[in-house]
Amino acid sequence: MKKFTSILLALLLILGTIAGCTKTETTTSPQQTDTNSNENTPALIDGDYEVEVKGHNGPMKIKVSFSNNTITNVEIIEHSETKVLSDPAIEGIPADIVKYNSINVDTVAGATITSYAIINAVRTAINEAGGNPNNFQNGISKPTPEHKTIETDIVVVGAGAAGIAAALKADELGSKVILLEKTGQIGGEIVVSGGNQVVMGSELQKQAGVTNDTVESMVNDFMKNGANLNDKKMLTLFAKNVGRATDWMNQYVGVQYDMEGGLHKLAEYQYDRELAYKNGGPGFARSALEKIQSSNIELYLNTKATELKVDEKGNVIGVLAEDKYGNTYDITAKAVVLATGGYGANKELLSEDLANALFYGRSTATGDGHIMAQKINAKFQLMDYGKRYPNGIEVSPGIAKSTIAGNIVAFNEHSAILINKEGKRVVNEKASNRTILETLVQQTDQMLYLLMDQTTFDAWKAKLGPAGISESDINSWLEKNGSTTPYFMTGKTIKELAEVSGIPEETLQNTIDTYNSYVREGEDKEFGRPKEFMNAEIGEGPYYLVEQKPRFATTMGGVVLNENMQVININDEPIPGLFAAGELANGVMGDDSPSGANNAWAITSGMLAGEAASNYAKQ
For 58-116, the pLDDT digits (tens) are: 889 999 999 999 999 999 999 988 777 788 899 999 999 999 999 999 888 778 889 99
Work out the average pLDDT over 590-598.
94
For 265-324, the pLDDT digits (tens) are: 898 999 999 999 998 888 999 999 999 999 999 999 999 999 999 999 999 999 999 998
- Are 369 and 443 part of one and the same domain? no
For 124-163, the pLDDT digits (tens) are: 999 999 999 988 988 777 779 999 999 999 999 999 999 9
Beta bridge partners of 318: 309, 332
Q: How confident is the model at residue 547 (pLDDT cuts 50, 70, 90)?
A: very high
In whole angstroms, what is the distance from residue 453 CA to residue 543 CA?
Answer: 5
Listed residue (423, 513, 493) closest to 453, CA to CA: 493
Given a cut of 50, whether residue 427 has pLDDT beyond it is: yes
Given a cut of 70, whether residue 17 has pLDDT beyond it is: no
- Are 359 and 230 part of one and the same domain? yes
- Count up the domains in the chain and report the number: 3
Q: Which of 551, 567, 584 is the last residue of a domain?
A: 551
pLDDT at 21: 35
Quick check: 25 and 108 in contact, CB under 8 A?
A: no
Q: How confident is the model at residue 42 (pLDDT cuts 50, 70, 90)?
A: low
- Are 239 and 342 part of one and the same domain? yes
Question: At 472, which CATH number?
Answer: 3.90.700.10
In whole angstroms, what is the distance from residue 328 CA to residue 617 CA?
Answer: 24
Residue 610 lies in a domain: yes
Q: How confident is the model at residue 4 (pLDDT cuts 50, 70, 90)?
A: very low
Q: What does each C-alpha distance from 459 to 416, 488, 520, 587 come to in angstroms?
A: 11, 16, 22, 37
In whole angstroms, what is the distance from residue 406 CA to residue 414 CA?
Answer: 11
Sign for the CA dihedral angle at 557, 559, 560, 565 comes to negative
Residue 439 lies in a domain: yes
- Are 32 and 99 part of one and the same domain? yes
In whole angstroms, what is the distance from residue 35 CA to residue 32 CA?
Answer: 10
Question: At 128, which CATH number?
Answer: 3.90.1010.20
Given a cut of 50, whether residue 15 has pLDDT beyond it is: no
Q: Which of 551, 570, 595 is the last residue of a domain?
A: 551
pLDDT at 57: 78
Q: Which of 136, 171, 194 is the last residue of a domain?
A: 136
**Which amino acid is residue 609, in one-letter code?**
A
Question: At 152, which CATH number?
Answer: 3.50.50.60
- Are 212 and 317 part of one and the same domain? yes
Centroid of chain to Cα 131: 39
pLDDT at 14: 27
In whole angstroms, what is the distance from residue 441 CA to residue 437 CA?
Answer: 6
Residue 141 lies in a domain: no
CB neighbours (10 Å) of residue 462?
A: 12
| Domain ranges, residue 303 | 147-385+556-617
- Are 36 and 121 part of one and the same domain? yes
The residue among 574 and 470 whose pLDDT is bigger is 574
Given a cut of 80, whether residue 502 has pLDDT beyond it is: yes
Residue 284 lies in a domain: yes
- Are 119 and 158 part of one and the same domain? no
**By percentage, how much of the chain surpasses pLDDT 70?**
93
The residue among 334 and 387 whose pLDDT is bigger is 334
Could you say which DSSP state residue 32 is in? Answer: P
Average pLDDT, the chain: 90
Global model pTM greater than 0.85 = no
- Are 33 and 180 part of one and the same domain? no
pLDDT at 41: 52
- Are 445 and 315 part of one and the same domain? no
For 336-353, the pLDDT digits (tens) are: 999 999 999 999 999 988
> What is the helix (H) or strand (E) element at residue 63, kind and residue range?
strand 59-67
- Are 463 and 588 part of one and the same domain? no
Residue 560 lies in a domain: yes
pLDDT at 20: 34
- Are 364 and 397 part of one and the same domain? no
- Are 160 and 297 part of one and the same domain? yes
In whole angstroms, what is the distance from residue 41 CA to residue 189 CA?
Answer: 45
